[in-house]
Amino acid sequence: MNSMTGFGAATAPLGGSSIRVEISGVNRKQAEIAVALPRAWAALETSIRDTVTAAVSRGRVNVSLSLQQAPGGSGSLTLNRDKLTALTNTLAEAESSLGRSIETSLDALLRLGIITEETETDIPLEEVQTAADPAVREALQAFIALRAQEGANMKRDLLGRIGTLRQFRCQLMERAAGVAARHKDVLLKRLAEAGLPLPADDERIIKEIALFADRCDVSEEMTRLESHLNQFEAICDKAEPVGRTLDFLCQEIFRELNTTGSKANDAELAQLVVNAKTELEKIREQVQNIE
């Protein structure tokens, strides 16, 4: 079992500088891979994406590659004069149409590639890829290891909460077993208070209690609930991604609890169902973070 959240980083030498790779992940229903890297390295995006996609089946994964200067070093900047001229002409035309000036920022010039760090474009792409590939794999391994560690912690928590649901199931069965008898006592008491006493073995009383017991019977729900809990525990032991399956089982467990609550006709039984649903909601929140 793996969590969808995690972080991994690695650094590899690149010329007189180094390349830094950072990989982080958060929960998503599907697999989403976002790669951020310098414009000059755009050709590497496909191979990086394929490497990460092969290791991740679910969650949003952000991959960042950046060039880091050696300690004491300073990167030089270069100006793309052709792009600057085109931008100047475009801004002049826009200012004329709007009747006001338009300010630009250094950040905008960097994003548009008008000002770039010279070292990014000077290093041959083959050298960048040679350094980036092992760094990406190293960061990915660290990312996967952290997801597995967090997944193990989540598994312990989930199994503990499934154990709590089993306790609620036992209490529900115990309480449900006496619902018909308590209804019989209440019915006879009300008839007596109304001046219409009837013996307990009266055919009408027996028929009423039999119909009530059938409407309130939750044995099928409790059997299916036990099956779902067993499946949940078994799936938690699988090595493959199990998040979607566990999410489905949570829906089925909720369905059985909800049906039990609708049949309850007993205040204490209804309260037990509410408590079980509260515990189930905590389980569902955890499951949303499982790959």
pLDDT above 90 for 154: yes
Burial bucket for residue 30 (CB in 10 Å: 0-12, 13-18, 19+):
exposed
Query: What pLDDT does residue 101 have?
Result: 83
SS3 114: coil
For residues 159 and 239, which has the higher predicted lDDT (pLDDT)? Answer: 159
Cα–Cα distances in angstroms (integers) from residue 98 to residues 17, 28, 85, 92, 93, in the given order: 45, 43, 20, 10, 9
CA distance 173 to 218: 8
Query: What pLDDT does residue 75 have?
Result: 53
Burial 194-233 (b: 16+ CB within 10 A, else e): eeeeeeeeeeebeeebeebeeebebeebbeebeebbebbe
Query: What pLDDT does residue 28 have?
Result: 87
Query: What pLDDT does residue 283 have?
Result: 94
Q: pLDDT averaged over the chain? A: 84
Confidence category of residue 156, pLDDT binned at 50, 70, 90: very high
Query: What pLDDT does residue 143 have?
Result: 95
pLDDT above 60 for 71: no
Per-residue pLDDT, averaged over 265-284, amounts to 89
Cα–Cα distances in angstroms (integers) from residue 152 to residues 54, 228, 239, 284, 288, in the given order: 22, 21, 11, 16, 15
Residue position matching structure tokens 């109304």: 194
Query: What pLDDT does residue 185 have?
Result: 59
pLDDT tens digit sequence for 180-215: 556 565 665 676 667 767 666 767 766 766 666 566
pLDDT tens digit sequence for 21-66: 999 999 888 889 999 988 888 899 999 999 999 999 889 999 999 8
Query: What pLDDT does residue 274 have?
Result: 92
Burial bucket for residue 273 (CB in 10 Å: 0-12, 13-18, 19+):
buried
Instruction: Tell me the β-bridge partners of 25.
Output: 6, 61
